[in-house]
Structures are given as C-alpha cells and as structure tokens.
Amino acid sequence: MHAIHIPNHGGPEVMTWTEFPDPAPGPGEALVRLGAAGVNYMDVGARSVGGPGWAAPTILGVEGMGYVTAVGAGVDDLAVGDRVAWFYHVGSYADVLAIPVDSLVKVPDDVPDETAAAVMMQGLTANHFTTETYAIKPGDTAVVHAAAGGVGLLLTQMIKARGGQVIGLVSREEKVAVAEEAGADHVLVSAGDGFEDRVRELTGGEGAHVVYDGGGTATFRSSQLSLRLHGVHAYYGPFMGIPSISVTDLPKSILLTYPVVHHHVPTREALVERSSEVFDMVRKGQVTPRIGARYALSEAARAHADLESRRTTGKLLLIP
C-alpha cells in the first residue's frame, strides 16, 4: 500500500508518498480499498502543528469512502464488495486501510462514490451544527463563515432546507456566486472582522440568531456583535486559534458554544442515524456537495497548498 506520511510537522513539503506493508483486517475490522479521501482543514492543522492524536510521524487524513475487500473475525454485517464511508478514521490518506467496522457506514446504492466521500466529515459537522448546536427553525437567520468552502456550502443548504435564511461570508469576490448558488440569501465579502454592521442592517437591526464561525480569532468579536439577544455563537476550528475572553465581554446575553468533532457523532448509533439523515438529504436534492477539485492521492501536498491559499471552493478530494 501507499500513503501520505509525514515524518515531522511542517508545511506541505513534509508530506511524502510512502510505501508500507499491506495491512490485514483484525477482529472487528474491514479491509477497504480507497475510492476517494476527503481533504479537511483539520488535516492542515494536523500536518502543520499536530495536536492530540496527531503526533508525528503519522499518516494524514480522517475521512473517505471505499470498497470492502476482506473482513476480519467477528464481522457479519459487511461483505466483500460493499461500498462504505467513514467519519474520523486517522490515516485515511492511504490506498488501502484496515478500519474498525464501528466506524463504517454502508453507502446507499443511489449515492455516488464522490458524494459519499464529500459529505462525511463536513456533512455530519453541518448536520450537528443545524440540529443540536443550534436547531434551525423556519425564519431564523444564520451567518455562515467561509460560505463557499466545504462546510459552509453544506451548512447553507441545510439551513435553507430547514427554512432558515443565510448571510454568507466569503474571502474573495469571485466566491460570491458559489455561495449564492448554494442558496445564500446575502453574501458579504470579508476576510476578517468588521461585518457586524452589515449583518445588523440585513436583519432590521436585530442581528442573527446564530453565527457559525470557523474564521479564527480575527472574526471572533465581529461574530458576537452580529448576534441578537440570546443569539448563539458556534465557534469551531481549533487550528484557526482559540481566543481568550472574559464572560463579561459577551454582548446581549449571547450563548457561546464550541462544538468539537467528536461531539458530532459521539456514538455508533449517532453515526448511523446522522449519516442516514445526510444521505437522505442528498437523495432528496436538499444537499449537493460541490466538488471543488480532485487530486491524485499522491499529490495531496498540492491540495493542502491550494486549501491554505484560500484559492479553493467546495470540497477537495484525493483519488488513488
């Protein structure tokens, strides 16, 4: 097998296309031939600075879809040939993987391979954000950061499917049309702070019900000032920086939440339920992931460089 390995943390140049012995499925595992791996900003952080569970050396990647080629002892709900997808399996930038079956879900026959690969991490994130982090109701207004990115586009579509209104933020003018195509009602070009006045104008002076903020410390205060009384600030993306605040700094009695990846699907039951919800939205046409670019798995370093440059839109996929 081959995989994208990093011997130490650093820039894209530390990513190497490395050969390893082929894995074998252990008890409770399935051997999976990769169909497509998803690229997430989390992968960039894992590569550049590491963190819990991401000590170097390691193989990068956390999500993808593929085809079962063998199963280990005790596996009776998967068979050779099944199409499967997974959420947060460390080491997913590899052309062959041994994955615990509890981390796998079957891909419905009418969901294409690339779609399945594109909606696991970011789709389940957006699902959690719009249901448990803040349950979108008809008429609610949400501010979505990076609205032309992978999470932002899926968030926008899910908010609209639940009857909400979307004010999208994008970093460049050329991304406006991408966010609008996903259903954003208004799109503001902002690469940092200073957008709160415009949000208040668009909401009749009230502010938004919720801000989904993956913009980092630069956008933190403006996101809070964009909210109405008791609004919810959903701040995510630890690799974008963690600001320090005093509780007395919170305006308008807002609620601050920090949804982390392991809370999106904390149990096997949640993984099955939530992924089924996302696949169902795909089949109904409520969610259509935008594949922004495809790269050979061996060229994952180029995908990382493009993602960090903010040149990309939508979901980036690695194809073996």
Q: Given this model, what pLDDT does residue 53 score?
A: 83
Residue 207 burial by Cβ neighbours in a 10 Å radius (0-12, 13-18, 19+):
buried
Separation CA 28–CA 74 (nearest Å): 6
**pLDDT at position 175 over 70:** yes
130-139 mean pLDDT:
98
**pLDDT at position 51 over 90:** no
Question: 3-class SS at 141?
Answer: strand
Separation CA 6–CA 179 (nearest Å): 34
Q: Given this model, what pLDDT does residue 192 score?
A: 83
Residue 120 burial by Cβ neighbours in a 10 Å radius (0-12, 13-18, 19+):
buried
CA dihedral 215, 220, 222, 227 (to 10 degrees): 100
For residue 95, list its beta bridge partners: none
Report residue 31 as tokens.
Answer: 């051997």
pLDDT cut 90: percent of the chain above it: 91
Q: Given this model, what pLDDT does residue 122 score?
A: 95
**pLDDT at position 244 over 90:** no
**Model confidence at 260, in pLDDT bands (50, 70, 90)?**
confident
Separation CA 144–CA 159 (nearest Å): 10
CATH code for the domain defined by 2-107+290-319: 3.90.180.10
Separation CA 239–CA 262 (nearest Å): 15
Give the Cα-Cα-Cα angle 310, 47, 90 (nearest 5 degrees).
110
For the question of whether the overall pTM of this predicted structure is more than 0.85, the answer is yes
Residue span(s) of the chain under CATH 3.90.180.10 come to 2-107+290-319
**pLDDT at position 64 over 90:** yes
Separation CA 11–CA 167 (nearest Å): 33
Separation CA 237–CA 214 (nearest Å): 5
Separation CA 11–CA 31 (nearest Å): 31
Give tens-digit pLDDT for 65-90.
999 999 999 999 999 999 999 999 99
The type of residue at 102 is: D
* CA nearest to 162, candidates 154, 171, 172: 154
Give tens-digit pLDDT for 136-162.
999 999 999 999 999 999 999 999 999
Q: Given this model, what pLDDT does residue 159 score?
A: 98
Separation CA 22–CA 252 (nearest Å): 56
**pLDDT at position 219 over 70:** yes
* CA nearest to 258, candidates 211, 218, 310, 226: 211
**Model confidence at 215, in pLDDT bands (50, 70, 90)?**
confident
* CA nearest to 103, candidates 53, 162, 158, 32: 32
CATH code for the domain defined by 122-262: 3.40.50.720
**pLDDT at position 92 over 90:** yes
**Model confidence at 7, in pLDDT bands (50, 70, 90)?**
very high
**Model confidence at 239, in pLDDT bands (50, 70, 90)?**
low
* CA nearest to 33, candidates 81, 102, 88: 81
227-256 mean pLDDT:
90
Question: 3-class SS at 303?
Answer: helix
For residue 63, list its beta bridge partners: 87
121-126 mean pLDDT:
96
